[in-house]
Amino acid sequence: MSKKRGWLTGALSLILSIAGLVFLFSRLDIEAVRDALRTVDYGYFLLSLLIATLVQFFFPWRWRVLLNYRVSLWHSSTACFAGDFVNALTPLRMGEIVRATLIRRSEGISLSEALSTIVLAQLLDLLALVAVGVLLLLVAPLPEALVQAGAVIGVLSLIGLAVLMVAAYRTEQIHARIEPLLSRLAGEQRGGRVLRLIRGALDGLQTLRSPLQLLYAAGISLGLWLIIAFSGWVLLRGMMPNPGLELGLAVSFAGGIGRLLPALPGSIGTLDFAVMFSLTTLGVPDEVAIAFVLLLRLRYVLHTAITGSVALVSEGMNLHRLRQLVNEPTP
């Protein structure tokens, strides 16, 4: 069943990515885009690249908070950067498995606990993106479809966070109830393994029992997406005169949603469609929006290669070992 579900998820991701690319190429005027790229001030591109590279350190900083400071910032950084590198090469965000596996190897955090904190971080990202969307709504008129999509994402994220909070506060009760059930259904040995996985996942949610720590992690999430919005605005500043701040917010909001969707390597298609659609909706010409997407993709490749290379060297890994982690993650 899990294999079938994986195929269905992969097929849906492929369809979404291809649809995004079809939309992008349907609006492509090669000559106009070439002219737009010729007029770019690449000094702003380099500044945007620097900001985008530095903001990547916010993700491991937040992950360390969610893991209750039981890991070093260095190891959380190398694991995150290696995971991002794998996400750029493989579909369905398989880099998250690599990230959890590496932090298990370096810091002894169980795989299920690491993965549950990654899920929690993604929920915080969604809530932060909703906050960015609200700011965008305050400064620019948006299509009703985008407003409704943002509202749905916000509601679903809050529901997901509430479910995880209940699980965090009722860890012992959940453990006591499922232990005899698993023993009956799967046997003592196999049930014990499943129980340890569930217990590890519940342990990864314990940050939710500390309101101040949760607010701190949420604040980091909002801050990093606002800085990403600023980096997008800086890139646009090199492409058009006096772009409004709402364009940076739109890039952050749409790009964040496209990035979190499971898709082809590097969120190809979904991210590109989301960013272009948000910019053209706010009046940016098609050729400028497409040129921006191309530069954004180049920026992503560069900062992922920079941080990923440092991570691989630090972890003493090569591409062959990374492929092993993707195909045979440590249980």
What pLDDT was estimated at residue 1? 38
| Model confidence at 172: pLDDT above 50 | yes
Q: How far apart are CA 218 and CA 222, in angstroms?
A: 6
Cα 181 → chain centroid = 35
By percentage, how much of the chain surpasses pLDDT 70?
84
Q: For all residues of the chain together, what is the average pLDDT?
A: 84
In this prediction, residue 262 has a pLDDT band, given cuts at 50, 70 and 90, of: low
What are the pLDDT digits (tens) for 72-108? 999 999 999 999 998 888 877 888 988 998 999 888 8
What pLDDT was estimated at residue 263? 65
Higher pLDDT, 120 or 20: 120
Residues ≥6 apart with Cβ < 8 Å to 284 = 240, 247, 292
What are the pLDDT digits (tens) for 39-55? 999 999 999 999 999 99
Query: What is residue 240's DSSP assignment?
Result: S
What pLDDT was estimated at residue 2? 43
In this prediction, residue 225 has a pLDDT band, given cuts at 50, 70 and 90, of: very high
On the 0-12 / 13-18 / 19+ scale of CB atoms within 10 A, 272 is: buried
Q: How far apart are CA 254 and CA 272, in angstroms?
A: 9
**What predicted TM-score, i.e. pTM, was given to this entire model?**
0.88
Locate tokens 């000559």: which residue?
31
Report whether 242 contacts 52 (CB < 8 A): no
What pLDDT was estimated at residue 51? 96
